Structures are given as structure tokens and as C-alpha cells.
Structure 1
Amino acid sequence: MSITNTPNGFTLDSGGRRVVVDPITRIEGHLRCEVNVDDNNVIRNAVSTGTMWRGLEVILKGRDPRDAWAFVERICGVCTGCHALASVRAVEDALAIRIPPNAHLIREIMAKTLQVHDHVVHFYHLHALDWVNPVNTLKADPKATSMLQQSVSPRHPLSSPGYFRDIQTRIRKFIESGQLGPFKNGYWDNPAYKLSPEADLMAVAHYLEALDLQKDFVKVHTVFGGKNPHPNYLVGGVPCAINMDDALAAGAPLNMERLNFVMSRIQEMVDFCNNVYVPDVIAIASFYKNWLYGGGHGAKNVMDYGAYPKVNYDKSTDQLPGGVILNGNWDEIMPVDPRDPEQVQEFVSHSWYSYPDENAGLHPWDGVTEPNYTLGPKAKGTSTDIKQVDEEAKYSWIKAPRWRGHAVEVGPLSRYTLAYAQGVEYIQEQVQRSVATFNQLAGTEAGAKTVLQSTIGRTLARALEAQYCADMMVDDWNELMGNIKAGDLNTANMEKWDPSSWPAEAKGVGTVAAPRGGLGHWIKIKDGRIENYQCVVPTTWNGSPRDPAGNIGAFEASLLDTPMERPDEPVEILRNLHSFDPCLACATHVMSDDGEQLCEVKVR
């Protein structure tokens, strides 16, 4: 048995039984998790390992900065546009390019569409099955389900007993066929599932509705960006021109018909968030009223750069303020400056990389990505078949970002905690209204801080942010239309497109409120080419391993003290980790030395 008190206030006990979950599924990428449980099946130690890699930072060296967005957007097939947006912002920051108001509004509509789409898909298709039992729907009374639906959200039009009876019939045929597809391998008899059959049927019906709607939401990206995933972006603005005179004007994809189409999709997002998504999260949470744990750093340390800036990307007018909260002190908000080399640093003492000094962190402008894959002396298994990692050594392909040496959580929970603590009225009203409904349904008296600082709070914040983004898009669209009516059709500033107008050396940073949290891209440009490029993404912050001081990352912290019904059926681990919406494709990065072959893949 080994008991360790970490600098960030968590006690780790590596004794007891070791439980390994590899891979964690229903996420983007590959994540391994190992926990130690005591005799009461409570998690006392957690180890999060990123097991995949990428090499975008090295690929970008020597390339044209104007092309960087197209490369970094391929980091992931889910959170695509946010990387492109961070990239063009970084280049524009380095070259002092100011984009037109219309370009900013279009970018914001695209970014907020991604938020709504990502959050909806995350909850219904990646996270809901941690709380919802689809097999249990066969026991439901469709009439009672209809009554439940109308009590939870009376404005949703799909709420008749016949509708739910048809859904139940579809599910029965699906289950009785033996081809469970996404419902296969679930722990459906685990007592950790608490919903009534009617609540399960309602939630699965909305799972199917969301599956249909999500493909329509992202059509906004195809209008403004030409395609999805990986819509097109442009340094200096957006690549779509506006022509209100000719619906078929060559090279001008934005006309009144297309803009009205976008508004229709926005209204669909507003309706779904208001009538289905937010009510579902609150209703499901009420069945898990004893599950107000799993906060980890969400209850202590949170960080965000600031979200949803208004026209011209003026950080002084962000609609959601950034900052840092440490040790759960909501009364003291510290400012964040991604340009400050003492604030954002990445460490690799427990990551499979090498630094000149592995006890020191590097600011992203000076970042190094050099692989060093080794197993510690206490690891079990082999380098290609690890049975148990050694958390005292290197154990992850994810680096360890820190804010002034502190491990912090990023994400919708962090944004909402910071906004709530700083008095943003819209956010406070949203949270208070949701908590009041939760307490009414659950028969509890939990406060806003108690609810937010939990796995349920992390999931609720994501739903509330989707609702907020949908509402903001209505304002963005109206402002865009007002500009067009006033005769402003400009969507790009190309004054500094020619590299001959650039300084010999420049550096910039672009930050974005990505679906999974604060995203930053840092670039150094020399003689018109990329000298260094580093991405520090949300899952790098949340999924980081230990740092030299022994601070644990947000994934690991959120799992501590979590009771498990059946450790061999780790539903609780999935609930905690899925609440972050992990994206390992974004978080990990490695490239071999020049000329060294890492592996050979043959496809027959």
C-alpha cells in the first residue's frame, strides 16, 4: 500500500485492487484508465493514459502560415472547426490582421453551431448510455411515458402515447434481433442504473431524434464553410462572399435563401435545446440525486481564456469572461494571459517525451515535441502489451499543461463556474432555474455550487452552454442581416495576404472556446514560414498525467472517492470520464526523428 498526499490536495492510495479499463470507448481517440479500489469498492487512486499519437506540430514546420488551419483542422474529425478558428486567429494575431465584422459574425455562428452539435451528440450518443438503460425501455408504459414527457417539457410536440409505443416497438425489434449495435456490451443489469422504464424510453426516443437532427445542424457549416467536417476557413476573414442580388451568382454562396436556411437550422437548435436537451439532462439527473460527486478539479481549480467574443475579437468585450479559480475560492478570480511564459506551461516528467530539463515546463511558443517511450520499473507487461502502467514514471502520450504550476480543469463546467462567479446574469439565471427544477424533481435542496461541482454539474453545464450558444446565434444572425441591409457585404480583409507585407519574425496566439474547453494555438513565423507551432487542447489539460510536483490531472482527480457498484462493470468510471467528452485525437502528439520509421502498416 502506498498513500500519497498530492500538492493539489488529493490523497492517493495505490493499495487495494487494481481495475483497468482499456480502451475507454464512446470517445474520440484512445484512452486507458487504471484505478485502485479499496475493500468498499471506492476509488482511491486513478491513472489516466493517452495511448495514441499524432504529429501535426512537426508537420507544420516550414509551411505557409496561411495554410496551417487546413492541417490542424485534421487533428480531429469531431472538433474540427475550432482548431481552424484558433489557427487563423493565431496567424492574424501575429500579423496584426483585423477581420471585418461580417467575417467575425459568420465565424461565431459556425463556432456556436459546432458547440450545439458537439454537445448534443456528446450527451445523447456518447454519454447518455452511462445513465440510460435501453433494454429497460421494454418494461415502460407508453402512456406513462407520455405523461412524463409532458411534465418534463410540455412544449415538445413528440409526446403522444402512440409515438412512444412506436419507439418501443422499434427498440423491441432491435433488441430481439440480437444485433444490439451501439447498445451491445452494456452493463444493463447493473444496479448503478437508476432510471424508471418510462424515463429510459423517453431518453432513448430523444437519442433517436437527436440522431436525425444533428445532421441538419451542421448544414450551417456547409453554407458558410463549404463542407462538414473540416469546413473551410481563411486568414483575414471567411471564404464565402455575399451577393443579395443574384441567387445563383458565381462565387457568392451567401444570398437571402441561404441565410434564411441558416436561420431555420438555428431555430431547430434553439427548440431542441429548450424542449429536449436541457429538460432531459435535469430529469435524468434527478434520478441520480446521490451522484453529486466526481467534481475533482471542477470543485477546486478551473480555467478558461474567455468565450464568445463580440465583433473584431476584442477581448475586453467577451460575452463570457475568462480567468482562473483555485482551491474552490469563487471570490477570487485571477486573470489569464496565454502570452505570459510564466502562466501556461507544459511538462513531460510523466509523459512519453523528452525535454532538456524534465523538471521544468515550457511555454508553447518554445514547445518541444520529442518522443521518449519508456516503461517505468513498476510497470507490468511489455512495451506492446502493458498490463499495468507505472504512474511514478512516464505513462502517457499526453503532456501536462499547468497554469502557474496548478492543474486545472477546462470545459463548459469551467466556463460556467467562472461566468456564474463573475455575475453574468444570463448564466446565473440559467443555472439557478435548472438547479431549482432539479431540486423539485429530486426532492433535494442542493445549491448551485454543490450541483456544478460534480459529474452531473459537468454534464448540465454542457447542456446549458448549448442552449446559450443557440440563443446567441439568433443575435449573431440578426446582427449579420443588419450589416447586410446597411450595405456592408465585406467578408475578408486581404491587405496583408502577401507575405512581402509581413515582418521578418512574428508570433501570435489564438484562443477559442472549444466544445471541450479552452483551446490555444501558438505560432512563430520567420521569413514567411512557420518556425514553431504548438496546440494545447482541452483534453491535454483535463487528461494530463502527473507533473514533476505530483499534481494530478482533472480526469484522475474526478475519479477519486467515487463508489462503484461492481468494479468489473465500471459504469461509474465511464460516467466520470465521459462527462468531460474526452478527445484523445486532439490531446496527444508525437513525431519520430527524421528518417526513423515508427511502424509499417499493410492493408490487404
Structure 2
Amino acid sequence: MTKIVVDPITRIEGHLRIEAEVAGGRVTDAWSSSTMFRGIETILKGRDPRDAWYVTQRFCGVCTTVHSIASIRAVENALKIAIPSNAELIRNIIIGIQNVQDHVIHFYHLHALDWVDITSGLTADPAKTAALAASISDWPLNSPTYFKEVQDKVKAFVAKGRLGPFANAYWGHPAYKLPPEANLMATAHYLEALEWQKDVIKIHAILGSKNPHPQTFLVGGMAIPIDPDSQNALNADKLAEIKRLLTKAGEFVEKVYIPDLLAVASFYKEWAGIGGGVGNFLSFGEFPQQGGGQPWLPAGVVLNRDLGKALPVDHRKVTEYVDHSWYEYSGGAGKGLHPWEGESEGKYSGPKPPFQHLDTSGKYSWVKAPRYEDQPMEVGPLARLLVAYAAGHKPVQDAVNGVLGKLSVGPEALFSTLGRTAARGIDCLLIAREMPKWNDQLMDNIGKGDYAIHNGEKWDPDRWPAEASGYGMHEAPRGALGHWIRIRDQKILNYQAVVPSTWNASPRDAKGVRGPYEAALIGTPLADPGKPLEILRIIHSFDPCLACAVHLLDARGNETLKVAVR
């Protein structure tokens, strides 16, 4: 038996270490370790709850929008604040385009190179590449000239010896299966997606003033005024520009992303049986609808891969364990705490670098172990779609069945690395199709003279109860995100965030049960243990964000930076 280490896992947010035991060419055991400490929850104590969204969005430089909305929902839930329809629609559009942009970035820039061999594309025939592209899409750039230009550009890039994002990869690995023409096509779209995403995310600049770190979220609604007669407010011209950008976003998803996803997946169908994981799935639901009721994507839990039913979600059933995490609970070991009671004081007890292996029999990660009814849960686009599918959501069922049909695989293929990657594309497609409807609803409201954007009824802290507790749920691109807040005397008493990568990157719990990353790796075949490309494929299919799960670097409390404000 051989023990291998992949550290750091690249093409993710933050720092993740995977240790695995390999025997007979397969992974027999695995451990997921984050090597950075979270500290922002501690920083929030004693602050004004209305400011929490602005601080929590600094968990990460990418996942800024998602923490803003989860934080604001937590405070609104605690203080029983309802928001106007216009504010809800604007939030939905901001959240929606965040999902669409994030999914495209993940597929091309974080995950595609696990399946696409850039160097192979350098030998492709541009004419055959154009023919392949034209056979799956009518995208206007599908021409021999275009693909030749891309090929020459990449060749020149390689000739300079500065490979940038293409360096240190496993090029030529026997696990790569795409023909040269498919590799060139995917490389071209990798570069296109870089330009596309910069344009469509301008919606955040219009509605949120900037990206990342949007500025217009506000407890009780939004801080962007609506005035058809003002160029400094949300008006018909800006809504028309948003509509144009939403159309551009949808066209790329429909004509580039989804065709590429299907084309690449068709060469890797064996991955429909690899990387299944824990088999339990959690979604908090997303996109509140006008008039109240269930959100557009429902909340729910699917247990033991049973698509026959989606169980309701109760936030009180969420607990976190630290038996294999570098934290100490005041109540002792073997106990899971609900986030309202959670503690975030870290105490590092691991080896000092450089070291060969972690003590995986003890504490080995800064990530806690969240559980729902004491069960590990996978979260993310796959969980979101499985819950919606089991709940009878027809657009989701139609889209999932359509993709499975094109790949000639059954529903069991969803519980896999391939299913996880395909689900992200389907999620992106469905949201891209729905967003223009929300923009139209917003235009209709304004056309009827409804300019309401904020509910200031409980803005004054003197009108708050002496104590209040709340939770804010959100389906971030990476999955179920929850913020829990306790307020006393108008100040934050305790604050806990359980983020998607905390669920997925979870170490073992008090019972020794693996988290989703760890479970998904068991049984994975490795063509070359010295170049564990297959481990990257599985971990990247979750799209880790350890920057959200953990934060401060210096575990000894030493001052690393002083900022003077003048």
C-alpha cells in the first residue's frame, strides 16, 4: 500500500491538501485537509448586525455576493423583516448571473484541463475542428480560420516558455481521451469564456455598483434607487442593457458551454460510475418568487440516492463536529453543535511544516464536519438538481432527462463525477433561461409605478427585541450556504457560517464517517499514482472554495500587517 499526497490542489479557491492510500491501482482511503484557519466569525462579535453582510463577503474574493445575501437574509429572519418585490427581483438577478458566470468559469478555467489536453490541440487540423464544432452547435465562430488563429496563438504562447495557467499539468497523461480536434475546440472556448465572463458580469456593476464585493445590498431591501427619469437610478435604459447582457449570457451557455459539456462527457462515460460520494444531498432552495410561496428551486434533502422523494429541510438539524478538526469545543469531544451555539476558536495541534504526512487518526483539518441529522451531506449543483428532480420540478426533470438521453446513460449516472459536472451545466442553463423573466417582472413593476426598493420599518435598533436569532439560507454556485446569527442588545452575540466547501471538504466526524470529498475518492482508479489526475477530476467536480471555509493564516496570533487609516 502506498500513501500519496496532493498539496496544494490547484485551480481552486484557498488551500486544500488530499492524502490518499493506494493499493492495486485504486484509492482505498482518503483524507481532506484544509491548512488555513477561519477567523471572520470571531471578528463579527460585538458589531452591528446590519453591517455583517459587508464583512462576511470578505470571506472570499470570489464568493462575495453569496455571503452578502446569506448574511442579510439571516438578519432579516432574526428581525422579521419582509422586503419589497423589486428588491427580491434585483437580488434574484444578481444571484442568477453570479451562478451563470461562476459555472462557466468553473467548467472552462478550473475543471476543463482535467479532461482537455492543451498540447494535443496543437496538432489538430483546424478544418476538422471547425467541422466538429459545427456538428454540435451553430455558434458563429465555428470556422477553420478562427480555430487556426487560436492554435497559432497557443503555439506562440508555448514557444515563449511561459505557460502560465497551463504549466505544471499532466499533459500527455494516459487518462486523457479527447482527439486533437476536440482538444483544440475546447481550448478555443476556454479563451472565449475569459472575455465573455468579463462582459456579462457587468450586470453586477449596474445593480451592485461593482464586482466583486457588490455595494448595494441592504438589510430590508436594496440600496439602488428606482427612478425612470434619472440617469443615476435604475431606469429603462439600464434594464434594457441588463436584458442585452442576459441574452448574451444565455447564448453562450446554450451554444458553447452545453455542447462542449456533452462533447467532452461522451468520451468519458466510465466516469458515470466513479466518484459517487456519500449518497446524501442537501439543498436550501433558491430564488424567492413574487407572491411568496416556495422558491423557484425547492429546498430539500435526498437520502441514500432515493429520487422518489425530497424530504423537507429543518435548519435545526444542522450540527458541526470538530473531533478531527483543529478546534476545541468547550463541551468536550464527540459532540455536534448547532451553528447558533457554534464556537470558532482554533487551536492548531498538527505538525509544523515541512512534514510528510498528517496525523489522520487525530485532528487534521481547519474545516469542521457539518452533519444533517448526523449524516454527511453533499451540496452543490448536483444536490440542487437532485432535490428539484425528486420534488417534481418539471423544468429540472426535462433538462436532466434530456442531457442523460443525449449521453445514453440512466439516472444512476447522476451519482458520480460525470453527473456532478453535468449537473453544473444544467443548473447554469436553467438559471440562464429564467433570469430574463425576472428582469421582465421588474420592468412590469416599474411600469405600474411600483418603485419600492426598501422596507425601513425595523431599521431603527430601538425597535428590535432585546434578543433575536436568525438564519439565512442561500444556494450559492457551490451549494448550500447557511449563515446563523444571534443578536443581543443590538449587537452580534455569535455568528457562524456553514459554507458549501465546509460540507463537502468535511473531515471525519465523531463516528469516523468520511466527508463527501473523502468518500468520493474511495475506489478511484489511478493510471499513474505519481500523476494522480483522477484525484483532481473528482475534487474539481465539487469546485472547492477553501477560502470560504477557512481564513486567517497565522495560527500563533502574530501580527502580520498593520493598516493605518488617515
TM-score bracket, normalised by the shorter chain, equals: over 0.9
Q: Percent identity?
A: 50
Query: Equivalent residues in 2 for 1:407-418 (5 A)?
Result: 407-418=376-387
- Provide the residue aligned with 1:497 in structure 2: 459
Query: Equivalent residues in 2 for 1:398-547 (5 A)?
Result: 398-439=367-408, 446-447=409-410, 449-547=411-509
On the 8 A contact 1:370/1:592 being kept in 2, the answer is no
Instruction: Supply the distance in 2 between the matched residues of 1:519 and 1:229 (Cα, whole angstroms).
Output: 18
Query: Equivalent residues in 2 for 1:107-506 (5 A)?
Result: 107-153=91-137, 155-232=138-215, 233-247=217-231, 252-297=232-277, 300-311=279-290, 314=292, 316-338=293-315, 340=316, 343-355=317-329, 356-375=331-350, 382-439=351-408, 446-447=409-410, 449-506=411-468
Instruction: Supply the distance in 2 between the matched residues of 1:601 and 1:185 (Cα, whole angstroms).
Output: 32
- Rate the CA distance shift 1:386–1:601 in 2: closer, same or farther, 3 A: farther
Matched residue SS, 1:511:
strand
- Aligned AA for 2:178? L
On the 8 A contact 2:84/2:455 being kept in 1, the answer is yes
TM-score (norm 1): 0.91
- Provide the residue aligned with 2:529 in structure 1: 567
On the 8 A contact 2:479/2:500 being kept in 1, the answer is yes
Instruction: Supply the distance in 2 between the matched residues of 1:76 and 1:414 (Cα, whole angstroms).
Output: 23
- Aligned AA for 1:366? E
Instruction: Supply the distance in 2 between the matched residues of 1:23 and 1:230 (Cα, whole angstroms).
Output: 26
In the TM superposition, what is the alpha-carbon distance from 1:321 to its structure 2 partner?
A: 1.7
- Aligned AA for 1:367? G
Instruction: Supply the distance in 1 between the matched residues of 2:484 and 2:561 (Cα, whole angstroms).
Output: 32
In the TM superposition, what is the alpha-carbon distance from 1:592 to its structure 2 partner?
A: 9.0
In the TM superposition, what is the alpha-carbon distance from 1:463 to its structure 2 partner?
A: 0.9
On the 8 A contact 2:280/2:377 being kept in 1, the answer is yes
Instruction: Supply the distance in 2 between the matched residues of 1:296 and 1:586 (Cα, whole angstroms).
Output: 24
Instruction: Supply the distance in 2 between the matched residues of 1:47 and 1:576 (Cα, whole angstroms).
Output: 14
On the 8 A contact 1:293/1:562 being kept in 2, the answer is no
On the 8 A contact 2:309/2:391 being kept in 1, the answer is no
- Aligned AA for 1:383? K
On the 8 A contact 1:397/1:589 being kept in 2, the answer is no
RMSD: 1.6
1:35 aligned to 2:12? Answer: no
Matched residue SS, 1:296:
coil
On the 8 A contact 2:481/2:498 being kept in 1, the answer is yes
- Provide the residue aligned with 1:7 in structure 2: none
- Aligned AA for 1:263? K
Q: Deviations over 1:363-388 (max 9, x none)?
A: 0011111212113xxxxxx4232311
In the TM superposition, what is the alpha-carbon distance from 1:228 to its structure 2 partner?
A: 0.5
Matched residue SS, 2:222:
coil
Q: Deviations over 1:311-330 (max 9, x none)?
A: 36x4x422222211222222
In the TM superposition, what is the alpha-carbon distance from 1:331 to its structure 2 partner?
A: 2.2
On the 8 A contact 2:236/2:443 being kept in 1, the answer is no
- Rate the CA distance shift 1:294–1:80 in 2: closer, same or farther, 3 A: farther
Instruction: Supply the distance in 2 between the matched residues of 1:327 and 1:536 (Cα, whole angstroms).
Output: 22
On the 8 A contact 1:309/1:319 being kept in 2, the answer is yes
On the 8 A contact 1:283/1:438 being kept in 2, the answer is no
TM-score (norm 2): 0.97
1:70 aligned to 2:50? Answer: no
Matched residue SS, 1:254:
coil
In the TM superposition, what is the alpha-carbon distance from 1:591 to its structure 2 partner?
A: 9.7
On the 8 A contact 2:59/2:551 being kept in 1, the answer is no
- Aligned AA for 1:293? G
On the 8 A contact 2:486/2:494 being kept in 1, the answer is yes
- Provide the residue aligned with 1:19 in structure 2: 4
- In the alignment of these two chains, the number of paired residues is 561
Instruction: Supply the distance in 1 between the matched residues of 2:222 and 2:545 (Cα, whole angstroms).
Output: 26
- Rate the CA distance shift 1:98–1:222 in 2: closer, same or farther, 3 A: same
Instruction: Supply the distance in 1 between the matched residues of 2:342 and 2:407 (Cα, whole angstroms).
Output: 44
On the 8 A contact 2:36/2:552 being kept in 1, the answer is no
In the TM superposition, what is the alpha-carbon distance from 1:574 to its structure 2 partner?
A: 0.6
Give ranges in structure 1 of 5+ residues lacking alignment.
1-15, 376-381, 440-445
On the 8 A contact 2:275/2:522 being kept in 1, the answer is no
